[in-house]
Amino acid sequence: MKNNALYGETFADWPALEHHVQCWLADIANVRIHSTTGEAPQARYVRDEQRHMGRYFTPTYLTPAPSAQQTRKVDKTGLLCWQANKYSVPMAWQQARVGVHVEGTQLLIRDLETGHEIARHGLSQGQGVVTRNTDHYRDKQRRIEELEQDIQQQLGSVAGERLCTLLKRSHPRIYKDQLVGLQGLLKQYPMPAALLEQLGDRATLSTRQIRDYLQAYTQHPERLPNAVSLASARCSVADAATPTPLARYASIILPREAGNHEQLH
């Protein structure tokens, strides 16, 4: 390929191009479901074809030296694929590329930048086996606890815990991401106490909704105190035997304000 180009992409040298193609084969072509066979080519090869393959009679000068280390991308669950099986790595390397190579009966996984070993597993002999080290997932729990503590320090222990519990109940699968998002919002926007109480009363909540509320409050801070005072007026309407003209006005204006508030959020 002239100038080391591939479909409009350019590469620094031939090894870089080879690395790109190898990653594409390992992460996409050989693991996606084939439209004809209905299964991943890698899985089919390991199950049905690998044992029938003989050695290639290729001259040694045409055979590149085998790489001591290959790369794999870790998925969002902290797993990487190796020869039709999956193995865990610490959650700090979630969705990152890592180095992988076999040493005897062990699969070694290393950080690509530092070369440090981050995980080691015994090689699985079956297919479709998921091998996990429970210690790898404790890093995620520790991170969640740190985020919860930081949010509770900023919002107060009771209100912060209430908001975290609501986010966890609403989005249990991406709870950590929700906490990271909330932490970023609290650095960017002030959180008024009245709005915090309002958010805590919702049935469900997401960081995106919190962002919308904070942005709306930042643009129109006068609306939140008005809503609170009108809500108090509505309570007075319900309790008073003879509504005053002001209370009647509050009971009329409240639905309109509520409608505008929902449109904003």
Rounded alpha-carbon distances, angstroms, from residue 208 to 129, 170, 172, 224, 265: 37, 12, 15, 19, 10
Kindly report the length of the chain.
Answer: 265
Burial 68-94 (b: 16+ CB within 10 A, else e): eebbbebeeebbbbbebbbbbbbbebb
Q: What is the pLDDT of residue 100?
A: 94
The pLDDT tens digits for 171-210 are 988 888 899 899 999 999 989 998 999 899 999 999 999 9
Q: Out of 119-123, 173-177, 254-258, which region has the weakest mean confidence (pLDDT)?
A: 254-258
For residue 93, give the nearest of 51, 137, 134 by alpha carbon: 137
Structure tokens at 250: 């509050």
Query: pTM (2 decimals)?
Result: 0.41
Residue 163: closest CA among 189, 182, 185: 182
The predicted pLDDT at position 237 comes to 36
What's the pLDDT tens digit per position in 134-157? Answer: 888 777 788 888 899 999 999 999
Q: Which amino acid is at 100?
A: V
Cα angle 205, 208, 209 (rounded to 5 degrees) comes to: 50
Q: Is the pLDDT of residue 34 over 90?
A: no
For residue 165, pLDDT over 90 is answered with yes
| pLDDT > 90 in the chain, percent | 31
